[in-house]
Amino acid sequence: MNASNVEIMDRIRSAVPGEVFDYQCLLGALVDYGNPRNKITQLLNTGLVVRIRKGLYCFGSSFRKTAPTREYLANLIYGPSYVSLDYALSYHGLIPENVATVTSVTPVRSAKFDTPFGNFSYRMLSGERYSCGANLIATGDVTFLIAGPEKALIDKVWVDKRFSGRNISDFETYLIEDLRIESDMLRDMNQGLLRAIASAYDSLKIHNLIKFLKQVKGGSRA
């Protein structure tokens, strides 16, 4: 690495408080250089700065203090959004599998992104369905929004077109055998919170889910 690049990266590192930054922040750190856009292209080509998606960047490994948190990246890559669905179910330990794609919900159109830090997908939920059930989590120096267990499960049931949910009796096979959620975890879910979130969906499928979970809570199933 030449001395000029070290100087440039030291300048950016001192100007940027975190590991992830946008184009304007990057441009501002290089404003005193002639043709800063060419400098940015050079930094990207040498891997000193990594493009996550258009307009969103992070430091390359040589100048990175810590790897960006993928849940935090998910909030930044496309928004407004918060992590939910399969990834949130895995995050909360409801399903046993590690989920490679970070899944989120958003009130705008659905989208997918392939980045140097993995794949990120976003499913559209209407305003009322989107606006309830997200929690703010702090980890290290960053915070991110992620659905709680109840919201993640409701979102998963809602978007899964393979499962109709017309019959309450079908939920046992779907949740316990297909998704492989432990019965104890279903019993531990907050019934009041489930009902509050379900009210935003106005859906027979979701209301049947709530009825099934109430039966599980009472010990009549699973």
Of 117, 137, 14, the closest CA to residue 68 belongs to 117
User: How do residues 183-209 score in pLDDT, each as one tens digit?
Assistant: 999 999 999 999 999 999 989 999 999
Instruction: State the fold for domain 3-59.
Output: Arc Repressor Mutant, subunit A (1.10.10)
pLDDT band at 164 (very low <50, low <70, confident <90, very high): very high
User: How do residues 36-93 score in pLDDT, each as one tens digit?
Assistant: 889 999 999 999 999 999 999 999 998 998 989 999 999 999 999 999 999 999 999 9
Structure tokens at 111: 């989208």
d(CA 145, CA 139): 11
d(CA 145, CA 10): 31
What is the structure's pLDDT at 50? 97
Please name the helix (run of DSSP H) or strand (run of DSSP E) that holds residue 29, with its range, or none.
Answer: helix 23-29
pLDDT band at 222 (very low <50, low <70, confident <90, very high): very low
Is 150 in contact with 189 (CB distance < 8 Å)?
yes
Q: What is the DSSP letter of 187?
A: H
Is 8 in contact with 30 (CB distance < 8 Å)?
yes
pLDDT band at 221 (very low <50, low <70, confident <90, very high): low
What is the structure's pLDDT at 1? 63
What is the structure's pLDDT at 57? 97
What is the structure's pLDDT at 116? 97
Percent of the chain's residues with pLDDT above 70: 98
Annotate 40-51 with b (16+ C-beta within 10 A) or e (fewer). Answer: beebeeeebbbe
Percent of the chain's residues with pLDDT above 90: 79
d(CA 129, CA 121): 18
What average pLDDT does the chain have? Answer: 93
**What is the domain partition of the chain in residue ranges?**
3-59, 70-218
Going along 25-127, which residue ranges are E strands?
Answer: 49-53, 56-59, 82-83, 102-106, 111-115, 118-124
Global confidence as pTM:
0.93
What is the structure's pLDDT at 3? 66
Of 170, 169, 171, the closest CA to residue 154 belongs to 171
